[in-house]
């Protein structure tokens, strides 16, 4: 069984407002991400904040460690709930593939160019929490290298909504 985790604790400086809550029609962006994760995961959590309808998980070992703290929190929660793997996404990837877990294959693996889109074994939870608490290089790429995670190219790259203009362009492409 796979657990899903949405990372939503970032400051969204480039977006200028709450990215997770950005409306796409009648739906918040985070809800679109959750819907796509639910298609392939038994549970879906949100890390770094609370959101209606999602299980809220705290960063580990403490807040303020960026995506790696979110990943450590997600892995720990999923492991403790009996899951072997976690499929991860940022809250700003509203068209992630409905078969992303299958495309990534064996964990650990990430999408090339989108390191928040990944499939991670929960048995890495303690190692990551220890490492991220001690290291000064808290980049996803450093963790990917440390674990030997495979980088998988997708046939079509999912949209990454970082700025309001990205959202406007993505919505326009969807409607054509």
**Residues 90-108, mean pLDDT to the nearest whole number:** 95
- Domains of the chain: total: 1
Give every strand in the sheet of 109-111, ordered side by side.
55-57, 43-47, 2-7, 85-90, 114-121, 109-111, 150-152
The distance from CA 123 to its chain's CA centroid, rounded to whole angstroms, is: 18
**Does residue 3 contact residue 87 with C-beta atoms inside 8 Å?**
yes
Q: What is the mean pLDDT of the chain?
A: 92
Contacts of 127 (CB under 8 A, 6+ apart): none
**Residues 130-139, mean pLDDT to the nearest whole number:** 82
Asked whether residue 13 carries a pLDDT value surpassing 70, the answer given is no
Position 12 scores a pLDDT of: 55
User: pTM for the complete prediction?
Assistant: 0.94
Asked whether residue 2 carries a pLDDT value surpassing 80, the answer given is yes
CATH code at position 82: 3.90.550.10
Work out the angle at residue 163's Cα, subtended by the Cα atoms of residues 157 and 165, and round it to the nearest 5 degrees.
Answer: 90
The domain of 56 spans 2-174
Position 118 scores a pLDDT of: 98
pLDDT, tens only, 38-58: 999 999 999 999 999 999 999
């Amino acid at each position: 069984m796979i657990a899903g985790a949405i990372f939503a604790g970032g400051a969204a400086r480039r977006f200028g407002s709450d990215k997770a809550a950005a409306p796409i029609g009648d739906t918040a962006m985070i809800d679109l991400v959750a819907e796509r994760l639910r298609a392939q995961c038994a549970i879906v959590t949100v890390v770094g904040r609370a959101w209606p309808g999602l299980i809220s998980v705290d960063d580990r070992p403490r807040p303020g460690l960026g995506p790696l703290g979110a990943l450590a929190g997600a892995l720990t929660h999923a492991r403790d709930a009996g899951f072997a793997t976690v499929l991860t996404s940022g809250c700003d990837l509203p068209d992630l593939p409905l078969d992303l877990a299958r495309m990534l294959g064996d964990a650990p693996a990430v999408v090339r160019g989108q390191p928040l889109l990944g499939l991670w074994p929960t048995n890495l939870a303690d190692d990551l929490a220890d490492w991220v608490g001690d290291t000064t290089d808290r980049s996803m790429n450093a963790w990917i290298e440390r674990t030997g995670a495979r980088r998988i190219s997708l046939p079509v790259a999912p949209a990454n909504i970082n700025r309001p203009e990205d959202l406007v362009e993505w919505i326009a492409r969807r409607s054509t």
